[in-house]
Structure 1
């Protein structure tokens, strides 16, 4: 684990400070006051792959933070000792995603495959062209045994057109009819003023590192971007099964 050392996206000195109740062992301790100044909230921490740095899951994705809180690294760490580079950061994040998704199962809009082999969770936006294309081709995913489960991710924020539409979807008694109408760019009358989980979905996506839609969470927790055709999505899923 310590033999890797390909780092991407070094970010310079930052200041950090706030106490993290989830930290227990000394290896997990970090002073986070400067992260707070940057609007970064730490959700959980654990020992990372770089000596002297903690792996921090935040409201803006995963970072490596020095134990003294003075430096932050944004990017992936690879183990390059094997036949192929192994992305240790993504493997760690995949485990976190699966754990965090458990609390959102009841919020999802689910399109089950009749002969289900796989389930994928997709962060979607009604105003996203690629999301619209994926939705229009749900039958092709079902033919491959893939169940589609939607969470909301308004790319432009909660007050954007997509944010308002997604809130209307999750406020609707018939969520499938609502999301289908919006993705087909048809009119749909409904209210967006109800107790809905769209803001929570949005924050969850940001903590996962979602920056665009569709963002697909595979059964093993890896995340792949874009509207992958059904055959390519199956191939990606099987990559995880072969490890």
Structure 2
């Protein structure tokens, strides 16, 4: 809904002005966009305020006279980037990483397909659709990791077939084997799909609350959320960092 609203508004100006008060800014933005604003914070740049809503970051002034969303933000959350030239830091990226972080201990790990390699001390979680091409690429790199525990949340958002395959995998006696047989070797999961698959439904509900809109989405032990398949060296670097 938020993206559609932004598409309609594009870079249009707000007519209503308000004082430089974060609560007032929040009320005005919510009224204009029809979305719940999670936070309003001074950005520290150009007198702009940072607005975080529905998984997106954008900026406005103290009078809410204009909304800075970036030309391609409708298609990508990363289109608008505020860069600190003194430190060469991507401020928007840093803030999004912090604001979208997921506390690893809050993940319902009992609803994930669990795989342990080596001592299993390093951990990561993924949200994946069985028909996602990038998930298949990620799976091949995950196979090369050692001393790691991987929790895969079946997250069928692409098609009805994705839901059927997810159910068949969840109903398998060996879920990890059924997942790897399909995602790596292309062996279509067989067997029944009519066991208790409420875990998949609850995964979908959980992911929507977290605004997980694409697969794969990776969650590391420190809570950082990374959309998309990242290369093996990035996985290793993140897994090597302290929690």
Bin for the TM-score computed over the shorter chain: 0.5 to 0.7
Q: Distance in 1 between matches of 2:152 and 2:203?
A: 11
- Relative to structure 1, is the Cα distance of residues 194 and 71 closer, same or farther in structure 2, using a 3 angstrom cutoff? same
1:30 alignment counterpart: 27
Matches within 5 A, 1:126-165: 126-136=130-140, 138-141=142-145, 143=146, 145-156=147-158, 159-165=159-165
Matches within 5 A, 1:63-102: 63-64=57-58, 66=60, 68=64, 71=67, 73=69, 74=73, 75-82=80-87, 85-99=88-102, 101-102=104-105
The alignment covers a number of residue pairs equal to 207
Which one has the largest radius of gyration? 2
**TM-superposition CA deviations, 1:1-36 (whole Å, max 9, x none):** xxxxxxxxx941277xxxxxxxx9637623313433
2:51 alignment counterpart: 55
Aligned residues: CA RMSD = 3.7
1:148 is paired with a residue of what secondary structure?
A: strand
Normalising by structure 2, we get a TM-score of 0.64
Q: Distance in 1 between matches of 2:169 and 2:187?
A: 13
Cα offset, 1:193, TM superposition:
7.4
Query: Which 5+ residue runs of structure 1 have no aligned equivalent?
Result: 1-9, 16-23
Normalising by structure 1, we get a TM-score of 0.64
Query: Which 5+ residue runs of structure 2 have no aligned equivalent?
Result: 1-8, 15-20, 74-79
1:45 is paired with a residue of what secondary structure?
A: strand
Q: Distance in 2 between matches of 1:70 and 1:56?
A: 16
Q: Distance in 1 between matches of 2:40 and 2:239?
A: 27
- Relative to structure 1, is the Cα distance of residues 203 and 100 closer, same or farther in structure 2, using a 3 angstrom cutoff? farther
